[in-house]
Chain A
Amino acid sequence: MATLAPSQTAQPALKPAAPLIALEGVTKTFDLLPVLRNLTLHIGRGDFWALLGANGSGKSTLLRLIAGLGQAEGGTIRVGGWQLPREAARVRAQLGLVSHKLLLYENLTARENLRFFSRLYNLRGGAAEARIEALLARVGLARRADDPVRTFSRGMAQRLSIARALLHNPAILLLDEPYSGLDQAAAALLDALLGEAHAEGRTILMVTHEIERAARLPSHVAILARGAIAFVCPREAIPDAAWLAARYAEVTS
């Protein structure tokens, strides 16, 4: 299995803030309907959080706010000590986002997509090409690198989307349902990629419905219910997935 060069680890460019991601009393409404209500969440540097919650509970909205793609009506959001969205420009180079949507261009090939994003992140020359090739190999798409993304299965496109998010070596990874549409082999590959990313010191926030994975992979689990964080637990305190599923049912019922 291909691995990335050891020098390509997370960039230490954010303020030495603790916590790295801090949301205080965040409120967000859509069409007068409150989605997030006075939400507070602190994520430390190098932590790997799974965020569980029912459909429509505001998980994706929360992720978009942390990515600087939206504005909360109340509260403060700080990433790496910088306040969003006012100072979002300072943290963008440190964020990698995998969304519901693939954030890829279907008419471009896998390699062209990564080249495009390498230009946006000002990666240049041989180093950029080497990074692209390494990532394509790492997500198992080296042989399909010159095929248009429109010919890819959902799982292949999702793997490319993950390569895109890792391309600029971000310190923070925001993942919105990254396992959706992946077959078992691709999901196992993503498990390994996330494990590596976490081991390299990246901070990860993953929105997911997969309770079994949430009980196994991350360092912390949170459950979002009725617009606020209703449950937080470190992995060590989770005996098994069934226990977490029971807590999830309690909190979201």
Chain B
Amino acid sequence: MQTPFLRAVYGIALKDLQAELRSRELLSLMLIFALLSLLIFSFALELDRIAREESISGVLWVTVAFASIIGLNRSLTLEREQGSLDAMLIAPIQRAAIFVGKLVGNFLFALIVGALLIPIAALLYNLPALSLWLIGALVLGTLGLSSVGTLLATMTAQTRTRESLLPIVMLPLALPIVLTAVRATTGILSGQPSGDWLAWLQLLAFVDAVYFAACFVMFEFVVEA
């Protein structure tokens, strides 16, 4: 008899959060990387107001994407190194529950990093006031990155070159997420009417849905391979 799907998801996500609360290993790595990136971009790009508004979205999302990769790599490598992925695989749970459980943790870590980056970027780049739409874009963007990243990190964690392999396989697939998120964020930050950028946000939500569904289905094949 299988454990109910949501109970397994809850167990796995709670375990990741508990482990992170105790070690603070993932979040500290991701945050330090993200802050350093923002600072380097800030000093390297001495731009006027308009150029800054146009570039900050790209800077933000590239930073979030790379910080996510660091977190994803570590999260799935830990599962492999300790053999605990095997322990989950022999438990009477659906493989997709492992995917969703890991996704919840990875998504929350990426979201926390993104949420902390935005006010810092607002100071460094003199951004306009924050909005709920910006938070929406952040949620959708990090969800998409975490979906595709959780699947790919599970694949690459089985290889010897996992640290370098994940960015190589993930970035091309993350491109639609980063592109749509950057367009939507640029529109929101520059105060354009919602009609100009809402379609990008909708497209981002669509890409998220497609990626989540594909990764949900493919995860079983990845871990059984």
Which A residues form the contact surface with B (CB < 8 A)? 13, 67-69, 71, 85, 89, 92-93, 95, 97, 99-108, 112, 116-117, 119-122, 148, 164
Q: Quick check: is B218 within 8 A (CB to CB) of the other chain?
A: no
The answer to whether B3 touches A120, judged by C-beta atoms less than 8 angstroms apart, is: yes
Q: Which residues of B contact A92 (CB under 8 A)?
A: 90-92
Contact A120 B83 (CB under 8 A): no
B192 contacts partner chain A, Cβ-Cβ < 8 Å: no
A101 contacts B86, CB within 8 Å? yes
Task: A164 to B86: give the CA distance in the assembly, Å.
Answer: 13
Interface size on B, residues (CB 8 A): 29
Selected from B15, B23, B82, the residue in CB contact (under 8 A) with A116 is B15
Contact A107 B11 (CB under 8 A): no
Which residue of chain B has its CB nearest to the CB of A106?
A: B82
Docked-complex contact B87 and A117, CB < 8 angstroms: yes
Residue contact A108 to B19, C-beta cutoff 8 Å: yes
* A95 close to B90 (CB less than 8 A): yes
Which residue of B10, B89, B92 contacts A93 across the interface (Cβ within 8 Å)? B92
Residues of B within 8 A of A (CB): 1-4, 7-8, 10-12, 14-15, 18-20, 22-23, 25, 82-84, 86-93, 224
Collect the chain B residues with CB atoms within 8 Å of residue A101's CB: 82-83, 86
Contacts of A108 in B (CB 8 A): 15, 18-19, 22
Contact of B90 among A67, A71, A105, A148 (CB under 8 A): A67
| Chain B contacts for A69, CB-based, 8 A | 86, 89-90
Nearest residue, chain B, Cβ from A100: B83
Instruction: Kindly provide the distance from the CB of A133 to the nearest chain B CB, expressed in whole angstroms.
Output: 19
- CB-CB < 8 A to A112: which residues of B? 15, 18
Q: A85-B224, A112-B18, A119-B10 are in contact. Are A103 and B92 (CB under 8 A)?
A: no
Q: B86 — which chain A residues lie within 8 A by C-beta?
A: 67, 69, 97, 99, 101, 103
Report the bound CA distance from A102 to B14 in whole Å. 20
Residues of A near B93 (CB, < 8 A) are 120
**Do B92 and A105 touch across chains, with their CB atoms under 8 A apart?**
no
Bound together, the chains give a CA A103 to CA B23 distance in angstroms of 18
Q: Indicate which residue in B14, B83, B92, B224 contacts A121 across the interface (CB closer than 8 Å).
A: B92
In the assembled complex, which residues on chain A have CB atoms less than 8 Å from the CB atom of B83? Answer: 99-103
In the docked arrangement, what's the CA distance between A89 and B95, Å? 10
> Given that A93-B1, A103-B83 are contacting pairs, would A122 and B90 also be in contact in the complex, using a CB cutoff of 8 Å?
no
Residue of B nearest to A88 (CB): B90
Which of A100, A106, A120, A148 is in CB contact (< 8 Å) with B91? A120
Nearest to B25 among chain A residues (CB) is A107
Q: Is the CB of B18 within 8 A of A120?
A: no
A189 CB, nearest partner CB in chain B, Å: 22
Chain A residues with CB below 8 A from B18, complex form:
107-108, 112
How many Å from the CB of A119 to the closest CB on chain B? 3
Say yes or no: A164 contacts B87, CB within 8 Å. Answer: yes
Q: Flag if B7 contacts A119 (CB, 8 Å).
A: yes
